[in-house]
Amino acid sequence: MFRGKLSIIVPCYNEEEVVDETYRRLKAVLQESGLRDHELIFINDGSRDRTLPLLRAIAEKDPLVVVLSFSRNFGHQPAVTAGLHRCRGDAAVIIDADLQDPPELIPQMVQKMLDEEAGVVYAVRDERKGETFFKRFTASLFYRLINGLSDVPLPMNTGDFRLVDRKVIDEFCRLEEKNKYIRGLISWIGFKQVPISYVREPRFAGETKYPLSKMLKFATNALLYFTRK
């Protein structure tokens, strides 16, 4: 049984079609699994749609919801970083807003952290539903390339969906990199890190917020920070 506070960090960019459902599913899982001491941190990454008013309405009804809002679109990694800096939990889950990462996996992640005395439980995609061939192909190419070049182990088929404990969060918050490749930095921090597998669902609604231009920025940033070669 997990006794501490659990933070949930959800970056949101133009997610008006999903935020209500994401909140509902997260809250249901937390309540059903007895994770009552929690906080939900939604980061509005400069959305141009109704994401912010919707989040504010959720926060008005639920005192365990915190909304951070950026002055413009800074990107997914800065949004998650802001959440990690703001969270007060003994452990935190990083999860996408579009329900591709199933909230129902969270209790299993928490249990695994306790059972294995791990500092990090990272979710590995067994299967990716509803993603284009192009997305899977470029992702696979990127992970092969970065793993071939980098000394830091960077697990395949792993996004930022993971549970990290307080000592890892504190170390992460001390890092001064301006452009953070979060999954790489967390791996680099060390401690015991264990995988848990899951099936990646299609997006609940809306379109990807990661067009090719953002994907390339993300990939070049990761390569520049994580390989000397």
Contacts of residue 59, Cβ cutoff 8 Å, sequence gap at least 6 = 42, 65, 66, 67
Tokens of 79: 């949004």
Query: In terms of CB distance, is 118 or 123 closer to ligand UDP?
Result: 123
Query: In terms of CB distance, is 46 or 107 closer to ligand UDP?
Result: 46
Q: Find tokens 């994770």 and name the residue.
A: 35
- Which among 122-130, 190-198, 202-210, 220-228 is the span making contact with ligand UDP, rule CB under 6 A? 202-210
Task: State yes or no: residue 5 binds ligand UDP (CB under 6 A).
Answer: no
What is the nearest approach in angstroms of ligand UDP to the Cβ of residue 79? 4
Cα separation of 165 and 151, whole Å? 24
Among 35, 45, 54, 169, binds ligand UDP (CB under 6 A): 45
% helix / strand / coil in the chain, to the nearest 5?
45, 20, 35
- Interaction pattern, residues 100-129, with Mg ion; x per rule: CB under 5 A: x-----------------------------
Please choose, from the candidates 69, 113, 122, the residue with its C-alpha nearest in 3D space to the C-alpha of residue 89: 113
Cα separation of 202 and 197, whole Å? 16
Task: State yes or no: residue 14 binds Mg ion (CB under 5 A).
Answer: no
Cα separation of 195 and 133, whole Å? 25
Task: State yes or no: residue 8 binds ligand UDP (CB under 6 A).
Answer: no
Interface positions, 48-77, toward ligand UDP (CB under 6 A): 73, 75-76
Binding positions for ligand UDP, rule: CB under 6 A: 11-13, 15, 45, 73, 75-76, 79, 96-98, 100, 208-210
